[in-house]
Amino acid sequence: MSATTLSETTKLRDTIARIGKSLFDRGLTFGSSGNISVRLGDGTLLATPTNMSLGELDPARLSHITVDGQHLDGDKPTKEAFLHRCVYCARGDAGAIVHLHSTHSVAVSILADVPPEDVLPPLTAYYIMRVGKLPLVPYFPPGDEKLADAVTAKIGTAHAVLLANHGPVVAGKTLLDAQYATEELEETAKLYLLLKDRAIRPLTPEQVEDLRTRQK
């Protein structure tokens, strides 16, 4: 991974703030919930601060931390920074992570009858291409670092997981990749809830495999 220049880091800070405001303004996060991080070229992380609305991020005050949790500068990092760190350690291809408490995804995470190995059915091609597989991670109280072990056990076979009674955690090669996948997940969760009591026609296994082959 090549080093991130000062100008690139400044641009990333601005992008985090811009995407955070966009997610907040569109109702995909609320209050001080949700967090975003980006991995820099030296392996350190930029992360949103604790108790800070994604709609009011100051690029200059973003937390700068190491992957093992050392706080380098900026405001105190989100209390869920450990969650981001465990994903980066498990997935060397992850360049950014978005974690939200988005309404429809959380609603699905509360349902008792979803398959834990892959929560949502393949309703659309874009869901398969952007999200693919979505394992359910068992519930842990907010801030419980045992959650990191549970996420690590699932994230190796998927780049997105759904935390039970909590919300999605989505990794991407870039911040835009993570953002778009998170938004696609939320829209698919909304579709699933709208259609839940009706007979549906999801993509067939052959259609899903074809989409995955096209991405390789």
Contact 109, 162 (CB under 8 A): yes
Identify whether 192 is a catalytic site residue: no
Burial of 16 (0-12, 13-18, 19+ CB in 10 A): buried
Q: Which of 56, 126, 139, 180 is catalytic?
A: 126
Identify whether 209 is a catalytic site residue: no
Q: Which of 8, 56, 80, 180 is catalytic?
A: 80
Q: What is the DSSP string of 29-43?
A: S-TT--EEEEE-TTS
Token match 């100051």: residue?
58
| Closest alpha carbon to 98 in 213, 166, 209, 181 | 181
Residues assigned a catalytic role = 80, 126
